[in-house]
Amino acid sequence: MLSKTIEKVLNDQIRIESESSQIYLAMACWAEVKGLEGIAGFMYAQSDEERDHMLKFVKFVNERGGHAHISDLNEPNVKFKSFKEMFEKLLEHEIFVSESINNLVDISLQEKDYATHNFLQWYVAEQIEEEAMARTILDKINLIGDDKGGLYLFDRDIQQLTISSASNDNV
């Protein structure tokens, strides 16, 4: 059974994961209308992943005797100066999510809720991966600079990243 404190903080995280999904959906739209098909596909996949993260929390809260709260959401930013800025925002956002997950881990220990603590370990590992992927992408973007041919190749290569990260999820 979840304590009221744990139920509240898990519900706060449900909102954060839902907002993450919306943020990446807005990024997918921005890239798609700019003709960056590969980047758009990557962002659509990120948006779907965040929805899965949200649902995992929803089911955990409901199964542990709590009641998952589905709240309204803040509207995401829909415009970016460049695709580089967009990926910088993605990394910033993932760092924010990691801090939030770490904070949840802390609270679960304070509350001596070891089941929740154990459940959160999946998210701790996932955040390490997501931050690492965002940093790798930004390194590539910095290598490309303003080169249009480089952007074309980057847009093509990121499709591969989307496909391989989707197949990793199925393992």
Q: Which residues bind ligand FEO (CB under 6 A)?
A: 17, 20, 50, 53, 94, 97, 130
For 15, residues 6+ apart whose C-beta sits below 8 A from its C-beta are 69, 71, 73
CB of 93 to ligand FEO, least distance (A): 8
Amino acid identity, residue 171?
A: V
CB of 130 to ligand FEO, least distance (A): 5
Residue closer to ligand FEO by CB (options 20, 151) is 20
CA atoms within 13 A on the CB side of 158: 28
Torsion over CA: 167, 21, 89, 145 (sign): positive
Give the chain's radius of gyration (CA, Å): 17
CB of 107 to ligand FEO, least distance (A): 18
Residue closer to ligand FEO by CB (options 98, 159) is 98
CB of 145 to ligand FEO, least distance (A): 27
Residue closer to ligand FEO by CB (options 10, 97) is 97
Amino acid identity, residue 128?
A: I
Residue closer to ligand FEO by CB (options 127, 151) is 127
Q: How far is Cα 51 from Cα 46, in angstroms, rounded to an integer?
A: 9
CB of 53 to ligand FEO, least distance (A): 4
Residue closest to 20 by CA, chosen among 81, 101, 84, 82: 101
Residue with tokens 């098909």: 37
Residue closer to ligand FEO by CB (options 14, 107) is 14
